[in-house]
Amino acid sequence: MKAIILAAGMGSRLKELTQDNTKCMVKVNGVSLIDRALKQLEKLNIDETILVVGYKKECLKEYIQTLNIKMKISFIDNDIYNKTNNIYSLYLTKEQMLNNDIILLESDLIFDEKILQNLIDSKDPNIAVVDKYELWMDGTCVKINETNDIIEIISSKKFNFNKTDDLYKTVNIYKFSKEFNKKYISFLEAYMESKGKNEYYESVLETLVNVLPNCLKGLVLSSEKWYEIDDKQDLDIAESIFANTEDKLNKLQSRYGGYWRYPKLLDFCYLVNPYFPSEKMLDELRINFETLLRQYPSGLRINNLLASKYFSVNEKYIIVGNGAAELIKYFMDYVEGNVGFIRPTFEEYPNRYNDKKSIVFYPKNKGFKYSYDEVVEYFDKKDIKTLVLINPDNPSGNYIPFNDLICILNWASTKDINVLIDESFVDFAREESSSLLNNETLTQFPNLIVIKSISKSYGVPGLRLGVLATINENIINKIKRNLSIWNINSFAEFYMQIFGKYQKEYKKSLEKIKIAREKFIADLRLLKFLEVYDSDANYILIKILEQYTSKQLADILLNEYNILIKNLKGKSGINEEYIRVAVRDEIDNKKCVDALNEIFFRGLDFSA
């Protein structure tokens, strides 16, 4: 058996990375695509690998000579690579295809070694490797029957996003028998004569499958990894997917989201209500999608009116932002003098301020818990102009009750201290009606600033919505001057417009997640190698008592269970082995508990 790798393309979407190299010479985590592919083929005892080359062909040939590959490698030149597509590159291998069984793959792929091994081991002579269609995928898809025969090949032109449930994406790795190749080449020649050389070989397969039913099987992947690299974004994703066990966690977390590109990942890191929006609210958003996509949003003044309706706050006191992060930035830019922080906490606040002007309280209690009187006692004789409180705090889940917050505000008023309270997680608290985001409290305390994210408890982080409220006109006006007239998009505006109709569903979602949280905490506490702390948020702080470091545990969960958690070791104020897990629905929470249980028992020494 021989292998054919198509490597003639220019890879122009990779920009400067292919200015002096071919696409397959691009490195993923320090190893080039072609180096990886050739060594995988060599392990399978392939007789010969034929590369069809074009763009920077001499550079590629010289590079391959440095790779110490013992398998026979030969080259076929496509001298009109800039005028043709992969159909012509494949046609150039006609002689090899007519006389051999082959494995065909494209040079811009990275994939698990097991895929090729399964392909070789399969008794089926003609196979296309396929994977269940996911939203991130693009390109040719297929439908298969119950015996994995490919019954239809669907090109990008014919793709229908409303009909994807039974689709599989081609991975662009194939095994063809010599007998199949004779028919394929015949169709290939006829297709090029009719359509030209600037076409795709998948189109010929589409015709072949229609004319010769059951001629091609689909080898369906299970957990094997692969990725096609067309641009820098793809390269970045591939490096996270194929990172080694020690680096994968850092590579994923450094993305700060976008995890819809990793559909099998269970994200226990980011903190979102899994029970809201309701299906009916989603339907209303869907039905208005095209209108919202094609229309400008309203300006800042109108959206501030919507936010005021959303939270029943006077429109003069509230500003809507492109996520709470935008408002945090501009507020911290406004602040002067010394600022009081409690750490560990949500780092966006202290990281935005001068360390030399930061006065930090580090709680000494278990789980970094603290009470209002401890806060007042610590800062009472400190020279601060602003106090920042996250309530409930992150990552501890520590909660200061409403009446105690009022005590802090009264104390701060006597000291002429502004108090910013971030209550992005307050709706998860056990105490009902505990928000300070109301006219009565805001007018009572001119020194109060409230920031609230509309991502966390409302389950819409992709909309990027947040609000800041205060009756302090200087703060409001300064931040308004920094915001653009269209600082939120039409989808976010529409969400605020319709939310009032779904408040009952929202309250029910909070009840569900509180129940899920209590069960999650109880189940986690059965694991004796963990110390699990109480929480009034949708996340749980956990100390690891034995067997593993927090990094080791996070690595095992990610690499073996596809579960992403937050490793807190090294976060300011945390020197021991702590992790944070988000509260998801009860099914996902059980998966996390079961994984932790398996990991714990794996580490036990039963011989003692």
Q: What is the mean pLDDT of residues 370-385?
A: 97
Sequence-ordered list of residues with C-beta below 8 angstroms from that of 362, at least 6 positions apart, any chain: 342, 343, 573
Residue 135: pLDDT band (50, 70, 90) is confident
User: Any bridge partners for residue 111, and if so which?
Assistant: 226
- CATH fold group of domain 2-231: Spore Coat Polysaccharide Biosynthesis Protein SpsA; Chain A (3.90.550)
Q: What is the C-alpha to C-alpha distance for residues 9 and 552, in angstroms, rounded to an integer?
A: 41
pTM above 0.75, yes or no: yes
Q: What whole-number distance in Å separates Cα of residue 174 and Cα of residue 103?
A: 6
Res. 608: pLDDT tops 60: no
3-state secondary structure 348-390: CCHHHCCHHHEEEECCCCHHHCCCHHHHHHHHCCCCCCEEEEE
Between CA 327 and CA 455 the distance in angstroms is 14
Question: Could you read off the pLDDT of 222-262 as tens digits, one per residue?
Answer: 989 999 999 999 999 999 999 998 899 999 988 888 888 88
Q: How far is CA 267 from the centre of its chain?
A: 8
Query: How confident is the model over 350-354, as a mean pLDDT?
Result: 96
What is the pLDDT, as a whole number, of residue 261?
86
pLDDT on residue 40: 97
Contact 310, 499 (CB under 8 A): yes
- Quick check: 582 and 537 in contact, CB under 8 A? no
Distance CA 62, CA 543 (A): 53
Higher pLDDT: 601 or 352? It is 352
Kind of pairing, strands 48-53 and 72-77?
parallel
**Nearest CA among 69, 55, 67 for reference residue 6:** 55
Pick the CATH number of 240-274+505-602 from 3.40.50.12780, 3.40.50.960, 3.90.1150.10, 1.10.1740.10: 3.90.1150.10
Question: In which band, very low, low, confident or very high, does the pLDDT at 293 lie, cut at 50, 70 and 90?
Answer: very high
Tokens of 421: 């309270």
Q: What is the length of the chain? A: 608
Q: Where are the domains of the chain?
A: 2-231, 240-274+505-602, 279-504
Q: At 291, is the pLDDT very low, low, confident or very high (cuts 50, 70, 90)?
A: very high
% of the chain surpassing 70 pLDDT: 99
Per CATH, which fold does 279-504 belong to?
Aspartate Aminotransferase; domain 2 (3.40.640)
Taking the CA atoms of residue 19, residue 24, residue 29 and residue 30 in that order, the dihedral angle to the nearest 10 degrees is: -80
> What's the pLDDT score for residue 603?
67
Cβ–Cβ under 8 Å, residues 464 and 323: yes
Question: What's the CA gap between 548 and 567, in Å, rounded?
Answer: 12
Q: What is the pLDDT of residue 604?
A: 61
| CB-based contact 82:57 (threshold 8 Å) | no
Tens of pLDDT, residues 545-573: 999 999 999 999 999 999 999 999 999 99
Roughly what angle, to the nearest 10 degrees, separates helices 372-379 and 402-415? Answer: 10
pLDDT (tens digit per residue) in 402-459: 999 999 999 999 999 999 999 999 999 999 989 999 999 999 999 999 999 998 899 9
Q: Which helix (H) or strand (E) covers residue 159, if one does?
A: none
CB within 8 A of 222, min separation 6: which ones?
A: none
